[in-house]
Structure 1
Amino acid sequence: MMKLLKIFFQLSIAILLLSCNQNTSEENKPTVYLVGDSTVKNGRGDGSGGLWGWGDYIGQFLDTSKVEVENHALGGTSSRTFQTKGLWKPVKNSLQKGDYVLIQFGHNDSGPINDDFRARGTIKGTGDESEEIDNMLTGKHETVHSYGWYIRKVIKDAKEKGAIPLVMSPIPRNDWNNGNVPRNKNSYGGWAKKVAEEENVTFIDLNEKMASEMEEIGEKNVTGTFFYERDHTHTSAKGAVLAATLVAEGIQESENSLNSYLLENPQIKLPAKKDVYIIGDSTVASNNDTLVGWGVPIDRYFDTTRVNVYNKARGGRSSRTFRGEGLWQAVLDSLDEGDFLLIQFGHNDGGHIDKPKYRGSLKGMGDETQTVEFSEDSTEVVHTYGWYMKKYIDEAEEKGATPIVLSMIPRNIWHGDKVERNDDSYAKWAKEAVEEAGGYFVDLNDSIASRYEDMGRQKVKEFFPKDHTHTNLEGAELNALVVAKSLNQLKGSGIRDYIFIPKNQSKKGQENKK
């Protein structure tokens, strides 16, 4: 009995010691804190609008089994307002000996020192000069210091807590001058370096590193991949990864102890892309070199770094036959939660129901059916156009996808100076399908007809080389632009976040007005 008690006692001591060692290990696990502006963390750090900061990815370069990463950067802040808004204080209070603080400010420090909009500017340079103001934005009296003064304060506060600061120069903007990216060595980058050297802390010239990489890649390849054309300051996911890669490189090149936590072969994961599927007939599909549907050029208006666009439309199909031939099932099997489905049918639904090509659907929105008997002793139960459209909507929503119904594009049929609509038939029923089943609706029939009327009959005639239904590439491009603009106005659907219309496209077609 005594022997059993002795073994039990020894086991208890061993378990207690193991527990203490584990707790000590967890307690000693350092944290890497990031402070900065939107180029370090954009928005909530969830990639809204496709914009990311390098701080959202730096953790993928570090061994997070040995070190924690906390990104406290906030968009719109300067070295001054990050402190005056109280954002630095909780970070400072959390710091433990052996923690790290990565610091990057400068993009917003050049703004006005005192205004009623942002009041975030700092005095240029690294000196001790200051300016007394009654802050027009906050209503408080404030002493404003230099950029260098604020950076120096963060460094000193961190050191007082036993933490290890690292200072970065601000990433470059996507501005170009004869193939070169301007540096900020004579402003915020240079001032950040000066303060870091004076305080004897690690400095990473992120501005120079990234500008050099951008020049090697080239302006044409940088814009649209690492930065968006619409924004020269904030990076895409790939741009953020590039910046994070260079931060990690700078850490590795330094004598800073943080380099011991760098992964030897980091596996970088970019955000998963969503999928946009398009189903429809030949006015949407890729047909041949002469006849082109709007689904062919539509991908130029999507952010394809964040979404894949799959045009599954097929010429000659109706809402009925796209299902009957198994084309819809293949799309449905591929749909995932968060994807989008664009649906446009109608051109072929008015065909024969019980004669070759057997593609017509019953008119309207009802539940009536017609049984069609084929020569090989098989039958098909045919439903209304509205029934088929609602089935597409219901089944897409069951998969967690967002269905968007577009009324069919108008034919090149005119009555006087007006293009013929089908707003008493298929366009009407398409809208009613959405009203009854859910999803979103785009009145493409009316919006394109209106654009045709602005351009005039003679110009529009050039878009239809064979008949009054199918467009050439130029017509498809115009229609795709109308689709993109319509989707960009579709509130609540989520798809507008992935649409981008270049400035030179925003007024396309206006020059062809009558």
Structure 2
Amino acid sequence: MLSDWNPGQGRPPRIFLAGDSAAVTREASKAPMTGWGQVLHCFLAPTQVEIVNCARAGASARTFSERGRLDWILQHIRPGDYLFTSFGINDAKPEEWLRTQEYGDFAYHLRKFVDGARERNAHPVLISPPERDTHDAHGNLPRSITECVMAMRDLAAVSSVPYVNLYDQSHGWWEGLGPDGVRPFFVHLEPGEHLNYPEGFHDQGHMTPEGALACARYVAHALVEQRIVPPHWAVDLDRTDLPPDWVSWLDDETHAELTRSRTRGPN
């Protein structure tokens, strides 16, 4: 599935990204937390495609839709644009207001993203979320959201939607690295190590720039390999010396305004 955009349209196509904290663009006060959507521009040329990251921390497929965020995307998406959808982490949590049933309302809400994009002649793409650093005391890495990943994969198959399996890829990486090797990819900070967390902070669920870049690079690779996007959109896929200033965080006021404005319902 390659974009039907052409230069005569006057603007590059856009990728709208709907997802949760694994994909979100973080505000400066949360650095070094980084979502993979925050750094996807490092591997997709901005002259070829614009990334509109609408992912929201704490969102499930249901709450993202219920709070008007999907409506906002569908109001702005145009023919030839893309809608990348990546949920599952919060859908698998026990809280009733977040949780969805994998082959019930989870699949039902994912279908809204797929159908909404297609009705507007845009391209839906389903992307499973990355695994977290959930190593147990024995160094094993259990699969934390297997059912949601399976439900997304199955929906992609029956709906003929491109599917990027970031979950299995990242699980294999983190498992191979082991508990110590994976630490730089997640927020593990000692006291005094970062101004935002003077007392230290250990978060096995959210990634650092290193983790986010690894996931974003894989997504970009998969998009090209599966011919979801034209190959000339991809840049620096094999570059290992990415400049530190390529990763940046939004100031808190801008982040709050984007969060508020990209909805057609209550925040």
Do Structure 1 and Structure 2 share a fold, with TM-score over 0.5? yes
| Pairwise CA distance, 1:38 | 0.7
The residue type paired with residue 68 of structure 1 is: E
Distance in 1 separating the partners of 2:89 and 2:54: 16
Q: CA RMSD in A?
A: 2.4
- Residue 213 of structure 1: which of 160, 166, 173 is its match? 173
Distance in 1 separating the partners of 2:151 and 2:209: 28
The residue type paired with residue 61 of structure 1 is: F
**Residue of structure 2 equivalent to 1:417:** none
Q: Indicate if the aligned counterparts of 1:33 and 1:70 stay in contact, CA closer than 8 A.
A: yes
Deviates more, 1:237-246 or 1:175-184: 175-184
- Residue 121 of structure 1: which of 92, 99, 104 is its match? 99
Q: Indicate if the aligned counterparts of 1:167 and 1:202 stay in contact, CA closer than 8 A.
A: yes
| Residue aligned with 2:59, SS | coil
Against the structure 1 CA distance between its residues 269 and 161, is the aligned structure 2 distance closer, same or farther, given a 3 Å change threshold? farther
Against the structure 1 CA distance between its residues 258 and 167, is the aligned structure 2 distance closer, same or farther, given a 3 Å change threshold? farther
**Residue of structure 2 equivalent to 1:354:** none
| Percent of aligned positions that are identical | 26
- Residue 247 of structure 1: which of 204, 209, 219 is its match? 219
**Residue of structure 1 equivalent to 2:113:** 154
| Pairwise CA distance, 1:217 | 2.6
Task: With the length of structure 1 as denominator, give the TM-score of the two structures.
Answer: 0.41
Distance in 2 separating the partners of 1:219 and 1:242: 17
Distance in 1 separating the partners of 2:230 and 2:114: 16
Q: Indicate if the aligned counterparts of 2:25 and 2:53 stay in contact, CA closer than 8 A.
A: no
Rg bigger for which structure? 1
- Residue 243 of structure 2: which of 252, 265, 269 is its match? 269
| Pairwise CA distance, 1:93 | 1.0
**Residue of structure 2 equivalent to 1:413:** none
Structure 1 unaligned runs (5+)? Answer: 1-21, 128-145, 274-514
Alignment of 1:132-281 (within 5 A): 146-177=105-136, 178-184=138-144, 186-223=146-183, 225-229=184-188, 230-263=202-235, 265=237, 268-271=242-245
Deviates more, 1:232-241 or 1:251-260: 251-260
Distance in 2 separating the partners of 1:194 and 1:175: 25
- Would you say 1:106 and 2:88 are equivalent positions? yes
- Residue 16 of structure 2: which of 30, 33, 38 is its match? 33
- Would you say 1:70 and 2:48 are equivalent positions? no
Structure 2 unaligned runs (5+)? Answer: 1-5, 189-201, 248-267
Against the structure 1 CA distance between its residues 180 and 260, is the aligned structure 2 distance closer, same or farther, given a 3 Å change threshold? farther
Alignment of 1:112-511 (within 5 A): 112=94, 114=96, 119-122=97-100, 124-127=101-104, 146-177=105-136, 178-184=138-144, 186-223=146-183, 225-229=184-188, 230-263=202-235, 265=237, 268-271=242-245
| Residue aligned with 1:207, SS | helix
| Residue aligned with 1:187, SS | helix
Against the structure 1 CA distance between its residues 111 and 265, is the aligned structure 2 distance closer, same or farther, given a 3 Å change threshold? closer
| Residue aligned with 1:234, SS | strand
| Residue aligned with 1:173, SS | coil
C-alpha distance after superposition, 1:405-435 (max 9, x if no partner): xxxxxxxxxxxxxxxxxxxxxxxxxxxxxxx
Q: Indicate if the aligned counterparts of 1:183 and 1:207 stay in contact, CA closer than 8 A.
A: no
| Pairwise CA distance, 1:186 | 3.3
Distance in 2 separating the partners of 1:78 and 1:33: 17
Q: Indicate if the aligned counterparts of 1:184 and 1:207 stay in contact, CA closer than 8 A.
A: no
**Residue of structure 2 equivalent to 1:79:** 61
Distance in 1 separating the partners of 2:243 and 2:29: 13
| Residue aligned with 2:61, SS | coil
| Pairwise CA distance, 1:163 | 0.9
Deviates more, 1:242-251 or 1:55-64: 242-251
**Residue of structure 1 equivalent to 2:196:** none
Distance in 1 separating the partners of 2:246 and 2:78: 35
The residue type paired with residue 33 of structure 1 is: F
Against the structure 1 CA distance between its residues 228 and 258, is the aligned structure 2 distance closer, same or farther, given a 3 Å change threshold? same
C-alpha distance after superposition, 1:211-257 (max 9, x if no partner): 1122233321211x101231111001111111111111221221313
The residue type paired with residue 130 of structure 2 is: I
| Pairwise CA distance, 1:55 | 0.3
C-alpha distance after superposition, 1:121-153 (max 9, x if no partner): 22x1223xxxxxxxxxxxxxxxxxx11111111
| Residue aligned with 1:82, SS | helix
C-alpha distance after superposition, 1:267-301 (max 9, x if no partner): 6333489xxxxxxxxxxxxxxxxxxxxxxxxxxxx
| Pairwise CA distance, 1:264 | 5.3
C-alpha distance after superposition, 1:361-395 (max 9, x if no partner): xxxxxxxxxxxxxxxxxxxxxxxxxxxxxxxxxxx
Q: Indicate if the aligned counterparts of 1:42 and 1:51 stay in contact, CA closer than 8 A.
A: no
Distance in 2 separating the partners of 1:48 and 1:215: 26
